[in-house]
Structure 1
Amino acid sequence: MTDLPKPFDRSRIGILVVEDEPLLLMDAVDMIEDAGFTVYGAAHAAQALALLERHDDIRILFTDIDMPGTMDGLKLAHAVRERWPPVSIIVTSGHVRVETGQLPEHGVFLSKPYRPTSVVDAIDVLARDLPH
Structure 2
Amino acid sequence: MKPRGPILNRPVILLVEDEPLVRLVHVEILRDDRFWVVEAQDADEAFELMRTRPDIKVVVTDVDMPGSINGFEFARLVRQGWPGIGIVVTSGKMRPQPGDLPDGAIFVPKPTSAAQLTAHIRSFLGADMGPDQG
Give the match for residue 108 of structure 2.
Answer: 110
Structure 1: 5+ residue stretches without partners: 1-9
8 A Cα contact 1:90 1:107, kept in partner: yes
Equivalent AA in structure 1 for residue 85 of structure 2: V
Give the match for residue 57 of structure 1.
Answer: 55
In the superposition, the TM-score normalised over structure 2's length comes to 0.85
Give the match for residue 124 of structure 1.
Answer: 122
Query: What per-residue deviation string (whole Å, max 9, x for no partner) do you get for residues 87-127 of structure 1?
Result: 11000000111146421110000000111110011111111
8 A Cα contact 1:91 1:108, kept in partner: yes
Structure 2: 5+ residue stretches without partners: 1-7
After TM superposition, list the pairs within 5 Å mapping 1:23-102 onto structure 2: 23-99=21-97, 101-102=99-100
Query: What per-residue deviation string (whole Å, max 9, x for no partner) do you get for residues 51-106 of structure 1?
Result: 10111110101000000110111111011100111011000000111146421110
- Moved segments of 4+, more than 6 Å: none
Equivalent AA in structure 1 for residue 36 of structure 2: T
Equivalent AA in structure 2 for residue 110 of structure 1: V
Alignment size in residue pairs: 123
Aligned identity (percent) is 36
8 A Cα contact 1:16 1:62, kept in partner: yes
